Structure 1
Amino acid sequence: MPRWARAALPAVLVLVWLALAAVGGPYFGRVSEVSSNDQASYLPASADATKVAALQPEFSDSDAVPAIVVLHRPGGLSTPDVAAITEDTKALAGLPGVAGDVSPPIVSDDGEAAQVFVPMTDDADLDAHVAGLREHLASSVPDGVRAYVTGPAGFASDLGAAFEGIDGLLLGVALAAVFVILVVVYRSPLLPLLVLVTSTFALCAALLVVWWLAKWDVVELNGQVQGILFILVIGAATDYSLLYVSRYREALRDERSRWRATWVALRGAFWPVVASAGTVIAGLLCLLLSDLSSNQALGPVTSIGIVFALLAATTLLPALLLLCGRAAFWPARPNLGSAHPAVVGPQARGLWARVARWISGAPRTIWVVCTLVLLAAATGLVQLKADGVPQSDLVLGHSEARDGQDVLAEHFPGGSGSPALVVGPSSELERMAGVLVGHDGVSSVSVAAKGVPSGTAPVTADGVQPVQGATPAPTVVDGDVLLEATLSDPADSDAAEDVVRSLRADLAAVDDGILVGGVTAVAVDSNDASIHDRNTIIPIVLVVILLILVLLLRAVLAPVLLVLSVVLSFAASLGVSALVFDHVFGLPGADPAVPLYGFVFLVALGIDYNIFLMTRVREESLEHGTRQGILRGLAVTGGVITSAGLVLAATFAALGVIPILFLAQIAFIVAFGVLVDTLVVRSLLVPALSYDIGAPIWWPSRLWRDDGGVARSDRRRDRV
């Protein structure tokens, strides 16, 4: 290629990526325009709760989100307190975001609390409107009375506030952690910046594509998916970059031309990086088989991120390093003709050379001990509680909605403001009402009726009750009516979920087309779908990754052992995490999707490091025989893979700065699991087991049959 073209090509690549980053960067501040944290939007269309949520607006003149204002004075509200609260409710109707009539205060039987129902506009400014409502109440309630805003609008606001740090805090912590690790590893001021630029530009380009796909309703985007996308792109792009940097530094020792060194490095790094990215993408796309919309969205969204991480690491970073040359590694420049460090043998120095010698001396002892330790750690799985958590526990730290829910449950029926919604034939109204009224877990029942100030009319065993002297007619939509059943227990409690399951069974005997929805039903359907996804997707991911490894390594035994090692690593990581969650952090449990997400990330990313290792081992085995190839591959890749593991663990750990239970648990599981996989499985277990097995590890490929001759030749050369 002409000299001018060699200079122009990297410059053009850098300019293209700079343009993508310039266009995509501003979209960090616009994610809220296309994302939603409404839990019902996560559900599949076939779920009862989803169907009820779609039908509910037809029974009402408003699709507002209810906020419940709870006012509490220990010892009891006085008559002046109630009068002041009643007067203030008139002012609430004029606040921004209040979508309709505000109910008069309802005083509890013990006289210590009152509740007011405030309908809030369901739009992108809900968080700001709830914050304005709270600010107003803080200054308007009588002295000594504490006001809380809870209910669906209150919890949605607290959840939105918890996700506010994703754009700034999360990225800042993740990038700072990566930068510190890279400076320590490379002892160079420029190279870490080039790697961070590569990762950041990849994220900007990925966000640009994802934002428009969400805008066109091709994918669903929420805070959970957004946070994982950011972390996964930064971590993956950095990992792929480290592998290329390692190859490029090797090539600079042998090649005078930076151009030639770039192509040598690309040949060595390209296919392992592509195989690793392809494995992660294949695992993530298996989430499309999920019933939950949030899981379905995570698959393509994060796959897009991995694609851009791959493209940046194989185009932008090589271009940047080509332009910078050996100066990128200053002050430890790799000079032309400098000797490659010895990786095996008595003259070899360094940590990984010592590890290789240790493995060659006692391979069976090492892999057996590692396996037993991991199996012992996996016994913690029996303490894993991944059957769902109450909505009030989703936000870590302070939550006014959670505090208000506790006060509400203490002085009113626990399900006040978040009733179970029952949609069924109008011809079966009396029988449905009879089932609801007669159930021990239901405190009151009402039916949607237009022309009534509250929008509903009370229902008892005797039928619809009069309101203001007249008996209203229930609202009928396509032959159906909507009943609201206020539960005795808090809507997000296990007891309430049991009541919803029981009601569904009892109402099915009346008519199998009756639907039960509402806040509690959303939690029930979410948990059921998550458990189904976990049991379905995990085996499929294993099969897909196994097939990819078979094609990559052209063997059967090695891929099977690699998959088993990563599964063992995942089980150990999840077992330790369960113990830490229960006995160190005292967490209330976990969502059923936590093990699934942990599995997909750990297995896909854990296989990455085994791919980096075993592709180099296979390359060395072709020349030196399997056992020597294993030692040489481990010694050569040990530093770069360990650095990559530390970077990925640090980036996932950064998720812990977002005070969301789900993300904090994923952060710990994946960060700890990556360290286990990097420092134990890939560094000791896999090399020791492979060394102990020897050439049959490549069965049934040609390398297995030819390895004996190569190994004998190596031994003769060593003796000479």
Structure 2
Amino acid sequence: MGAAQTVRTGAPPGRRRAVPWVFLGLWIVVLALASPFAAKLADVQKDRPVDYLPASADSTEVAKIQDQLPGGEATELVLVYHRDGGLTVADRSLAGEQVREVAGAHALVAEPEGVPSEDGTTLIYPVATTEPGQDEDKRDALVESVREVARGDGGLSVEVGGAGALDTDAGEVYNSLGGPLLYTTAGVVALLLILIYRSPFLWLVPLAVAGVADYFAMGVAYGLHQAFGTAVTGQSSGVMTILVFGAGTDYALLIVSRYREELRRIERPYDAMVAALRGCGPAVLASSGTVAAGLLCLLAADLNSSRGMGPLGTVGVLCALATMLTLLPAILVLLGRRVFWPLVPAFGSAVKQRRSLFAAMGSSAGRRPLTVLASGAVLLGALALGAFNLPGALKQEDSFTKTPDSVSAMETLAAAYPEQGTQPITVMTPAGRAAESLADIRGTKGVESAEKGRTGDGWTEISVLAAAPPESAGETATIEALRDGLDGSYVGGSSAQQLDLKDTNARDRTVVVPLVLAAVLLILVALLRSLVAPLLLLGAVVAVWGASLGIAGLVFEPLFGFEGTDPGLGLLSFVFLVALGVDYGIFLMHRMREECLNGAEPGTAALTALRTTGGVIASAGLVLAATFAVLTNMPLVQLVELGFVIAVGVLLDTFLVRTYLVTSASVALGRKVWWPGALSRPRAVAAAPEPEPVRVPTP
């Protein structure tokens, strides 16, 4: 019983029994209140291009003005008829009949005119209608209606492409994410918890609490949307779920580990949980604070999708924190020690002392700290060079892991019309200057044709075809020339949107990255009472981010076959890796500081902290990496790339940076790691008292 003790919290026995039940009852009430709102989150999820576009870009203004025109934003489609050996007379006749049927069933902006390819294998009919307005359901119904009519026969392939069809296919993919993403994430977390805890019951508690946190977060996210108009997209809601389960399980692992430790020396579960929360609570709070602060910095982004992800991700992290600090402890206390069966931590028992992997890793880092530090830095730097091999900006038609009908149509167009624009550029010009603008557009270098469309609310829509293929350097030059040459007009459309996404992400990186670094640094300084240790942690996570992008550059195109990189990958992966990666640094450095306060020397404290928290950090890192790896199974390239980079970064951070580099740097720096705090100064050694003079009796 040497280490065992009975800790008195000052709370009477009745209160110790009542407090867990009170928290459990409060959460039942909270879930009952949040339930009606959580169920409505899917109804406000929007995945139109305007929900992802930059707030101040030309293409966004075009989409907004189109919403105000008669019938709202036009749905632009392209019917593509193709036969490998060349179209027959019957093929052309069938195409004409189907197009007339579409025109008879829907109100089109203009009568479609067929455009044959030079080799005679392909015939396209551009179709535009304002019938569905800005209602996504009606747009999707229109696209499906056209696809029902446009069908091939006897070797004739008929595909429906264009911006409207691409948006419908993308929306279908986003709408299908919720269920599979949630179930897959929960399944992965459950499997890992079973392996970590080796208990048939314990894994259910954190998983169930994470499920409660996710449902609660959905209700809060809906409230934010209703109160402040926060954008909710398929991407942001999916990432929110990932954060709830990933970060929430990390907090649970830390709390349960400390609780198990306290149960060996404290008799009552309630008192043991109080001691556990006092010990690890500051680290959990600081960890969630860094993630929330980093995500909130996304509010400074100009890109709508990034700015909307900030509040939703913050909601997910804070809801996970609230449940793990209140509901999880209440349930564990009510279940008592038996929840750990068969490895029950008995009161007064001692942990079997055995040389762990992390003790061995710490010893190697402690013997040659500078060598380990230099080797790790060289390795991360070499990996980061792979980022130069990342493919260019991702095109809209390359954003699906499986080829939908709309993308197949665009590929057919690209092959049949290699030197011709097939995707319209939309220009919105003041109605009073429509004729002048039309003449200027037709005189712009790179413009193949331009036709005036609808007029309303003081604006006129002009549809422009570039001579160059979609999203090529030539078309980009044409878009920029139109923007430079047309005063008071806005240039939009699918290609302009992709261009604006690329430019805005570059701008957002210069604004958001410094904000994230400053916010995280301030929190770390406040927690660790040091300047050197926070800078060490920040430098480590930035190095991990660079190495993760480098690994991505080595596998994206050669191994995965991705034709491009999402323009937002750099910013989003930076925010998540810095905010989440610092978590493990906080767990390690907080325990190191605790050991130093108890009198240990910095080198010894670093090795002790690694030995005692290494297993928890490794488990947490595996869970977080696995939850983000779930995104690699999603059907959108943007999500696959984001999930891959973050999962790789978390694993690098867990098994290389925290275990070797941060530990070796702490050993090498000694007390300087806590500069300029009190721990950076040598401990005063009390002088030995001088012996009192001995009286010698006088003879």
TM superposition score normalised by structure 1: 0.88
Q: Are residues 384 and 77 of structure 1, via their aligned partners in 2, closer, same or farther at CA, if it must alter by over 3 Å?
A: closer
- 2:314 counterpart (293, 303, 314): 303
Partner residue of 1:41?
51
Q: Which letter does structure 2 place at the counterpart of 1:698?
A: W
Contact 1:34 1:215 in 2 (8 A): no
Shift of the alpha carbon at 1:130? 5.3
Residue 643 of structure 1: how far off its partner (Å): 0.1
Tell me: CA distance 1:296–1:631, structure 2 relative to 1, closer, same or farther (3 Å). Answer: same
Deviation at 1:157, TM superposition (A): 1.6
Instruction: Using the TM superposition, give the Cα deviation of residue 494 of structure 1 relative to its aligned residue in structure 2, in angstroms.
Output: 4.0
Kindly indicate whether residue 361 of structure 2 is the aligned counterpart of residue 349 of structure 1: no
Instruction: Indicate how the Cα distance of structure 1 residues 93 and 484 shifts in structure 2: closer, same or farther if over 3 A, else same.
Output: closer
> Secondary structure of 2:45's match?
coil
Q: What is the DSSP-based 3-state SS (H/G/I as helix, E as strand, rest coil) of the residue aligned with 2:80?
A: strand
SS of equivalent to 1:667: helix
Matched, 1:581 2:589: no
Uncovered stretches (5+) of structure 2, i.e. residues with no partner? 1-10, 689-699
Call closer, same or farther: CA 1:217–1:282 in 2, change over 3 Å.
closer
* Corresponding residue for residue 263 of structure 2: 252
**Compared with structure 1, are the counterparts of its residues 327 and 99 closer, same or farther at alpha carbon in structure 2 (3 Å cutoff)?**
farther
Q: What is the identity, as a one-letter code, of the residue corresponding to 1:381?
A: A
Paired residues of 1:28 and 1:167 also in contact (CA < 8 A): no
Q: Does structure 1 conserve the Cα–Cα contact (< 8 Å) formed by 2:41 and 2:222?
A: yes
1:694 is matched with which residue: 666, 670, 684? Answer: 670
Q: C-alpha separation between the residues in 1 aligned to 2:89 and 2:449?
A: 27
> What CA distance in whole angstroms lies between the structure 1 residues aligned with 2:465 and 2:610?
63
Q: Are residue 499 (structure 1) and residue 458 (structure 2) matched?
A: no
Corresponding position: 1:233 with 2:221: no
Alpha-carbon spacing, 1:700–1:74, altered in 2? closer, same or farther (3 Å): same
Which string of whole-angstrom CA distances, capped at 9 and with x for unpartnered residues, describes residues 429-482 of structure 1? 33x33442233422111113xxxxxx5xxxxxxxxxxxxxxxxxxx4754x543
Whether 2:506 is the aligned partner of 1:527: answer no
Once the two structures are superposed, what CA deviation does each residue of 1:168-221 show, in whole Å capped at 9, x if it has no partner? 211122111111111111101111110101111111100111123224552001
Equivalent residue in structure 2 for 1:123, among 135, 142, 155:
135
Match of 1:718 in 2: none
**Aligned partner of 1:106 among 111, 114, 117:** 114
Alignment of 1:11-90 (within 5 A): 11-21=21-31, 30-90=40-100
Q: Match for 2:16: what amino acid?
A: R
Q: 1:476 to 1:293 in 2, by over 3 A?
A: closer
Contact persistence 2:209–2:328 (CA under 8 A): yes
Distance 1:70 1:434, change over 3 A: same
Which one of 642, 655, 658 corresponds to residue 679 of structure 1? 655
Distance 1:494 1:161 in 2: 30
Moved more, 243-252 or 523-532: 523-532
Q: Give, in whole Å, the separation in 2 of the partners of 1:296 and 1:239.
A: 25
Deviation at 1:75, TM superposition (A): 3.5
- CA change 1:263–1:477 in 2 (3 A) is closer
TM-score by length of 2: 0.90
Aligned mates of 2:144, 2:349 — CA distance in 1: 67
Distance 1:28 1:89 in 2: 43
Q: Distance in 2 between matches of 1:94 and 1:671?
A: 51
Instruction: Within 5 Å, give how 1:625-644 maps onto structure 2.
Output: 625-644=601-620
> Aligned pair 1:286/2:297, yes or no?
yes
Cα offset, 1:126, TM superposition? 4.7
Q: Does 1:570 align with 2:582?
A: no
1:359 and 2:334 correspond: no
Q: What residue identity is the alignment partner of 2:410?
A: Q
* 1:349 positional shift: 2.1
Q: 1:426 to 1:94 in 2, by over 3 A?
A: closer
Task: Please tell me whether the aligned partners of residues 47 and 174 of structure 2 are also in contact (alpha carbons under 8 angstroms).
Answer: no
Please list the CA deviations of residues 241-277 of structure 1 after superposition, one character each: whole Å capped at 9, or x if unmatched. Answer: 1110011001100111111001001101211000000
2-side partners of 1:388 and 1:236: how far apart? 30
Provide the rounded CA distance (Å) in 2 between the counterparts of 1:102 and 1:485. Answer: 14
2:283 maps to which residue?
272
- Per the alignment, in what secondary structure is the counterpart of residue 613 of structure 1? helix
Partners of 1:165 and 1:658 within 8 A in 2: no
**How do 1:157-236 residues align onto structure 2 when only pairs under 5 Å count?**
157-216=168-227, 218-236=229-247
- Measured at CA, do residues 172 and 59 of structure 1 come closer, stay the same or move farther in structure 2, by a change above 3 Å? closer
In 2 relative to 1, CA 566–107 (structure 1 residues): closer, same or farther, beyond 3 Å? Answer: closer
Closer/same/farther in 2, CA of residues 437 and 528 from structure 1, 3 Å limit: same
Q: Quick one: distance in 1 between partners of 2:416 and 2:260?
A: 69
Alignment of 1:397 with 2:402, yes or no, is: yes
- Distance, in Å, in 2 between the alignment partners of 1:681 and 1:218 is 40
Map 1:571-720 onto structure 2 (within 5 A): 571-623=546-598, 624-707=600-683, 709=685
Which residue, out of 356, 361, 381, partners 1:375? Answer: 381
C-alpha distance in structure 1 between counterparts of 2:489 and 2:101, whole Å: 40
Residue deviations 1:376-435, cap 9 Å, x none? 1111122234x63211111112121111112234445854453332424634733x3344
1:131-150 pair list within 5 angstroms: 132-133=144-145, 136-137=148-149, 140-150=151-161
CA RMSD of aligned residues (A): 2.5
Of stretches 62-71 and 219-228 in structure 1, the one that deviates more from structure 2 is: 62-71
In structure 2, what is the Cα distance between the partners aligned to 1:652 and 1:376?
24
Give the C-alpha shift of residue 6 in structure 1.
2.8
Distance of 2:422 and 2:406 partners within structure 1: 13
Change (3 A) 1:109 1:636: closer
The amino acid that maps onto 1:125 is D
Deviations 1:572-619 (A, max 9, x none): 111111111132223222122101111100011110000000000000
Supply the AA of the counterpart residue of 2:80: V
User: Are 1:612 and 1:637, in contact at CA under 8 Å, matched by a contact in 2?
Assistant: yes
Q: Partner of 1:488 in structure 2? A: 467
What per-residue deviation string (whole Å, max 9, x for no partner) do you get for residues 330-368 of structure 1? 1001100011455xxxxx522222223222222222112
Match of 1:716 in 2: none
Structure 1 SS opposite 2:541: helix
Structure 2 SS opposite 1:588: coil
